Amino acid sequence: METMTPVKETIGLPRLNERAPEFEAPTTHGVRKLADYQGKWLVLFSHPADFTPVCTTEFMAFAKAQDSFAQLNCELLGLSIDSHYSHVAWMRNIQEKFGVEIKFPIIADLSMAVARAYGMIHPGAADTSAVRATFIIDPNGILRAMVYYPMSNGRSIAEFLRLVQALQTSDANKVATPEGWQPGDKVIVPPPATAEEAQARVSQGEYECTDRYFCKKSL
């Protein structure tokens, strides 16, 4: 008798540089939708569950960095497959036990509608838990970056702050940023379009060129 191989569920993921999936969902600050963040940067991030230790460390780190994100015109929005009652209880627990106030909203995605739209549910990770996914959405609602972490390991919040700064720098100056770039570091300029432009770039003092295709400059 022929054995049928179970068909694995295909996980759809949003794509970079396209419109982020629309959502409208209840949060700890009332109903929020993607359109509410028009004109602002948004870091949307999921966590597997409330009242878990790794997620608690991440939320405290996001809370401590919230003012730094705000200085970049960037809002924070959390999400898990828990009710808003659970979210509120967990927020109060974090403030009571660790002295950290969670001021940003958290989506209560019991229907998993937002989590599925953003590809946060991965079979094998857990039954109904969202993995540690982070999405950076620009003021025009375009998805600019997404990062997935395993459930066992916490994220570096400082890296997401750096990434928002890098994206904003690239947008404002039409440049790229090298590995480990920090604000104030030199940036990478686009490759020259012509041989004449390449030669001129090497001879100009504005650029630090290792080769014609590889040039940096200070902003």
Instruction: Give, rounded to a whole angstrom, the gap between the first and last alpha carbons of the chain.
Output: 69
Return all residues near 162 (Cβ < 8 A) that are at least 6 apart: 181, 182
Distance, CA of 145 to CA of 159 (rounded, Å): 12
**Distance set, CA 184 to CA 145, 162, 187 (Å):** 22, 12, 9
55 is catalytic: yes
Of the residues 55, 74, 209, 215, only one is catalytic, namely 55
Among 39, 42, 65, 11, smallest CA distance to 143 is for 42
Give the strand pairing for 30-33 and 41-46: unpaired
Residues whose CB is less than 8 angstroms from the CB of residue 173 and which lie 6 or more positions away in sequence, other chains included: 187, 219
- DSSP 8-state class, residue 176: B
Q: How many helices (H) and strands (E) does the chain have?
A: 5, 10
DSSP-H helix ranges across 71-194: 84-98, 113-117, 157-173
Q: What is the residue type of 44?
A: L
Catalytic residues: 55
